[in-house]
Amino acid sequence: MSTIELTADNFNEVISGNNFVIIDFWAEWCGPCRKFGPVFEQVSDKHEGVVFAKVDTEAQRELAQAFEITSIPTLMIVREQIAIFRQAGALPEVALDNLIHQAHSLDMD
């Protein structure tokens, strides 16, 4: 599965229309973001039922401000319209896979 671009126009639709969304807040000028991008893409191919989305913090400043993004890359996981994880910094592929498995295992009740 490829990633989708999140914007102010489609953000609510994507979040409300999907039970599991992983968001990468990034910018083109950010070295760690460019390094993490291919990892994010590779992992997206391995997880059915998970929406992988990217927010370009330069183009979508209002979203970055709304979520108080001060460091990039920042990874956020939203399950059932609830943000259950947020962390700044790039992750290696194994750590991202592990994080997704943990988020799937979380009892949302």
Query: What's the sign of the alpha-carbon dihedral 13, 87, 66, 54?
Result: negative
Residue 60 near residue 66, CB atoms below 8 Å: no
- 27 among known catalytic residues: no
Residue 31 near residue 63, CB atoms below 8 Å: no
- 50 among known catalytic residues: no
Catalytic residue among 23, 33, 53, 75: 33
Residues 6+ apart with CB under 8 A from 99: 75, 77, 85, 91
Catalytic residue among 6, 15, 22, 30: 30
Catalytic residues: 30, 33
